[in-house]
Amino acid sequence: MDNNIILSMRGINKTFPGVRALQNVDFTLRKGEIHALMGENGAGKSTLVKVLTGVYQKDSGHISFGEENKEVVIKSPQDAQKACISTVYQEITLCPNLSIAENMFIGRGNYTFVNWRAREKKAEEILKKLKIPARATQQLGICSLAVQQMVAIARAVDMECKVLILDEPTSSLDESEVALLFSLMRDLKKRGVSIVFITHFLEQVYEICDKITVLRNGELVGEYEIKDLPRIELISKMIGKKFDGTSELQKEKQKNIDVTAPFVYEAEGLSSTEARPFDFNIRKGEINGFTGLLGSGRSECVRAIFGADKITSGNIRVNGKIVKITKPRDAMECRIGYLPEDRKIDGIVADLSVRDNIILALQVMKGFFKPFSKSDAEEFADKYISLLGIKTASQDTPIKSLSGGNQQKVILARWLLTNPQYLILDEPTRGIDVGTKFEIQKLVLKLAQDGVSVTFISSEIDEMLNTCSRLIVMRDRNIVGEMTGEEMTQANIMHTIAGEAGQND
C-alpha cells in the first residue's frame, strides 16, 4: 500500500432524478501533491467534490482519509472541515467589509470575549509565513482578487486542513495574480498540504500540477502523471475523441466565405469585464465560430459582442459605421440577436408562456408601454411554433413545461422574430436530442443562405466542422488561431487548443 495516500475515494456513485452523475468513480490524492481534476462541463467534477465535502451524499462507495487510511463518513461540510478538508471556491465567500484578520477567524471560537489584538497578531504571522502581500488590519474588500483568494486559503490552512480543494481559483485573476497564487500553492505543497486543483486552463495545469485525473460523463477516464500525458492526449481524453483527421463535413456545410460580401460586424480591441481584448469580424451570410475548451473565453467574447458584459475598451462597426454597444438593447437595435449558453438562467423566463417568451425581444425593442395586441402575439407565436416544429400543448403553456430542445427552439424563435442580420448562438444544441440538434444545424445553414450572419459555438468539434466556414480557436481567454477551408480539421483544432507542446506530439 502507498503510505503517502492521504485521500482515497473508491467506487463512488451518485444519481439524481433521471441523471447518473457519478458512476463507479475512483480518486486518489497523495500527501504534498497538487492534483488536477479535469473534464468538460457535466463530466462530474463538481459532483465528486460535493460528495467529498458533504454537500451531496453518495449513493454508494467508500471514502478513506488520513495516513491511517480510515474510512470516514462525511454528511455535511462541517464533517469535511472536521476531517481537515477545506474548499476555496471561485466566488469569494468571505466578508469584504471586514478586515483580513476578522475574515480569518470569523465563526471560530467563543465571541463573548475576543482578544482581537492577539488575533490580528496571529493573522499577521500567518500572512508573513505564507508570504501573502497584505496586512491583517486591511479591509478585505480593498485587496485584489488574488489576495482575497489567498486569505481564503490562509484561513483554510490555519484551520489545519490537510486537503485543500481549489475550485477555479484563477478564473478572475490576471497573470501576475496567478503567479502569486501559484507561489502560495507551491509553499503549501512543501508543507505537506495536498491540493485538488480544478481549472479549465491547460497552461496552468501543466505549470503547477503533479498529476491529473480525468472524468467524462460521470465516469473515470484515468489518473495520469503530468509528464506522461501530452496536452493533445489530455484534450482527447476529456472530449472522448480519438481523431485521425479524416472527419468528413456534411454536404450541407457552408464551405466557403464570400470574401466580397460586406462586413456586418467588426470589432477592434474589444474587451469587457470578462473578456480580454480581441479583434473580430463577420461578413454577411457567413457562419463562423469560436472553439476551445470550456473556460477558454469563447462565451466571454460573444457576450462582449452583444454587450451582455460591461465593455471596457474597443471600437465597433456595424455595416461599416461606428456604433456604441454598451448594453444588449444597443445590440438589438443593430439587429443583433443572442442565444445564451445557459438557457435556463439567461434565456427562458420560466413562468411565462411559450407565446410571451417568443415575443419578448421584439416587445423590448418596441417598448413595454406599447404592447402587442393579442391577435398579433398569437399570430407571431403560431408562425414560429409551426416553422420550428415546437412541440407544445398550446401557446399558453409555461415554457418551463417544455423539453430542453423545445425551450431552445422558443429562444431561437424569439430572435428570428426580430429579423436579425447577425445571430449569435452559444451552445444552441447542448442537452438536446440528436434529431433536434440536426434540425437546428440545418436551420443555421438556411439562415446563412438567406443572408443572416451567424456565430456558432459548440463544445462538439464535429458540430462546428459541419456548420462553420471559419473557426476562431481560443485557449486561456486568448485567440490562438483562425482556420478556414482545408485547415479546419479536428486534429488541427485540437493541436491549436493544446499549444506548441501539442504540435510536437
Write out pLDDT tens, residues 190-248: 989 999 999 877 888 999 999 999 998 899 999 999 999 988 888 888 877 654 433 33
Instruction: Give the residue, 66 or 480, on which the prediction is more confident.
Output: 480
From 153, 203, 147, 205, select the one nearest 176 (Cα to Cα). 147
Q: How far apart are CA 237 and CA 221, in angstroms?
A: 7
E strand segments, 301-368: 311-318, 321-323, 336-339
Least confident of 12-16, 94-98, 344-348, 377-381: 344-348
The string of pLDDT tens digits covering residues 425-435 is 998 877 665 55
Q: How far apart are CA 88 and CA 198, in angstroms?
A: 11
Q: Would you report the helix, strand and coil content of the chain in percent, each value rounded to 5?
A: 35, 25, 40
Instruction: Give the residue, 126 or 91, on which the prediction is more confident.
Output: 126
pLDDT at residue 110 greater than cutoff 70: no
The string of pLDDT tens digits covering residues 112-160 is 566 778 888 988 988 888 888 889 999 998 888 778 888 888 887 776 7
Please report, for the chain, the start and end positions of each structural domain, with discontinuous segments joined by +: 5-229, 263-503
Fold category of 5-229 in CATH: Rossmann fold (3.40.50)
pLDDT of residue 431: 61
Q: How far apart are CA 421 and CA 285, in angstroms?
A: 9
Here the cell at position 385 is 411554433
Q: What is the mean pLDDT of residues 383-395?
A: 86
Here the cell at position 182 is 501559484
Here the cell at position 256 is 466557403
pLDDT of residue 319: 96
Helix (H, G, I), strand (E, B) or coil at 61: strand
Instruction: Give the residue, 209 or 345, on which the prediction is more confident.
Output: 209
> pTM to 2 decimals?
0.60
Q: What is the mean pLDDT of residues 373-398?
A: 88
Let me know if the fold of 5-229 is the same as that of 263-503: yes
Q: What CATH number was assigned to the domain covering residues 263-503?
A: 3.40.50.300
pLDDT of residue 461: 81
The string of pLDDT tens digits covering residues 259-274 is 789 999 999 999 999 9
Q: How far apart are CA 162 and CA 118, in angstroms?
A: 25
CB 162 within 8 A of CB 194: yes
Integer CA distances (angstroms), 501 to 186, 220, 236, in order: 23, 25, 14
Q: What is the mean pLDDT of residues 272-286?
A: 94
pLDDT band per the 50, 70, 90 thresholds, residue 504: very low
Q: How far apart are CA 72 and CA 140, in angstroms?
A: 35
Instruction: Give the residue, 18 or 479, on which the prediction is more confident.
Output: 479
pLDDT at residue 250 greater than cutoff 80: no
Q: Which DSSP state fits 427?
A: S
Question: Which residues on neighbouring strands pair with residue 214, listed in sequence order?
Answer: 38, 222
Instruction: Give the residue, 90 or 389, on which the prediction is more confident.
Output: 389
For the chain, give me the number of helices (H) and strands (E)? Answer: 17, 20
Q: How far apart are CA 125 and CA 406, in angstroms?
A: 58
Report the b/e string of 67-93 with b at 16+ CB within 10 A.
eeeeebebeeeeebbebbbbbbeeebe
The string of pLDDT tens digits covering residues 14-70 is 998 767 889 999 999 999 999 999 987 668 898 999 999 999 999 999 999 877 778
